[in-house]
Chains A and B, each alone.
Chain A
Amino acid sequence: MTATTAARPIGTRRQPTRKRVATIVWAVALTLLTLLVLYPLVWLVFSTFKPSSEFGSNPGLFPESPTLQNYVKVAEGIGGTPLWRFFGNSLLIASIAVVGTLISSSMAAYAFARIRFKGVGVFFAAMIGTLLLPFHVLIIPQYIVFQKLGLIDTYVPLLIGKFLAVEAFFVFLMVQFIRGLPRELDEAARIDGAGHIRTFVSIILPLIKPALITSAIFSFIWTWNDFLGPLLYITSPEKYPLPIALRLYNDATSTSDYGATVAVSMLALVPILLFFIVFQRFLVAGVATQGLKG
């Protein structure tokens, strides 16, 4: 903006008005578009105050007879398990997943980017290949393995993969990041007597912080929202994470408590929203730095 203003010595009278009009049009159009995109979320917020019976008769935004009953109901928990328990479970799983992903993916990425071991190319290609493998192909064999190991109804099947760098997306992201770092740094460290571990911990890790933060955010959000994994591996209701719990208010074969469902969906969104608001600065920075070299 300032650059254009400075570079415009003649005809300054008319142009700002035209520019302003254009800006206003843009702003209005974008606001409308944003509202359109945000409408489902806004609807969700307002709907949490509708009594359950209103969901059939009133698809509109505003509740006809607003009530807090849904939140009261949800706070009571489900089948003897308090709601905070589901939050706690989700938080526990997501936090451990983040830690596991960061440790394992960064180590794998370091190896791929900096160590020239035999078959590195093949392994790298194989790892990228797993990105193309649909999860549904793996479900049954994976389930059988964990079932035979007696690990059903524990969090191990959900978390062990995170510690073994199976999320190729994160590994790839970090590999690309590390490749962008000048090798001279490693060499300098090596001359000073540092081994791989030292180089990794003291040189590489601090430098790939943006990639680590990006991975942490995605890993948290994905794990928090994961439905299929916990559905398959967790059996006891008191171990359920939120995405499973919020489906429990609906039963297609008898009554469905839509009020409670939207209320608990709303509550489940809050941590993600907070997490995003707190870290979005890093997220944008992380994504923006991905393209840079050196």
Chain B
Amino acid sequence: MLDAIFLRAKKTRASLRWLLLAAAWVSVIGGDSLWAAPPACASQCTIYFYNPETNINNYVSLKASFDTYLSQFGEGYRFQPFDEKDIFESVIGSDENSIFLISSWHYRLLKHKYPLHPMLVGVSGGVASQKKILSASQKITDLEHLRGKNIAVAGSKAYSKNVLEQIFAGKPPDLLESLRLILVPKDIDALMAVGYGMAAAALTTEKSLDDLRAINRKQYDLLEPLGASRASLLTLVVTPHQRTPAVDALLDVVDRMQGASGDTLHMLGLDGWKRLTASEQQVLEQ
């Protein structure tokens, strides 16, 4: 509903005032907000984003989409994406009025270094977790056959190696070291790189394999699953351990995205957010 309101607001050029009224109205009639804090930012409230699970580099579009969404809540809100892990990590702990959108893999690395608390998890297709599948061309029937071969991956090198370590557990370490990673922008590229002979195997989500099966069965049939990683949670919304009113406001704003700005979430590969269950929290802290 807000999508339609948003478009109309853009056309009428009365966007800010109109949208604030609309957002307030929606929250009254059906907004099931997690936090009672009003979505207002006194100074500067930032959503920091870094995702090692994709190389798509759609930051310009993502930032524009987020900032357009955030502008309806007033000035002070901003979205800051990073494509460098070290630079992203340098801002954690330096900005108390911020929240972080990060992968669960990255959270596990960070939780010992910074006082952070995961609050929400992304949902896609009704589920909040995913496995990574290693799919090879049909000529390859064993992990050993991948020695020295190109593997197409759509995540960072560090993240992809970590996932491959799970899949190659019990195999000689030099086999994993021999793999040559071809970093591609997205899962669908990785899968098609196998079909067209640029890579011997692809590391992607199950969902991407399902997508390929739906759009190009012939390409899908060229692939053979060789192994799977453990399931991991999708993108997390993480706060500093000490939550300021600004952090609560940011959480509220992010939570409201589900009804208000579907396309922004879709650009992250998500349909919505949900609160982490106790068991999910437990898994993350192990």
Partners in one complex: no
Binding site for B on A (CB under 8 A): none
Binding site for A on B (CB under 8 A): none
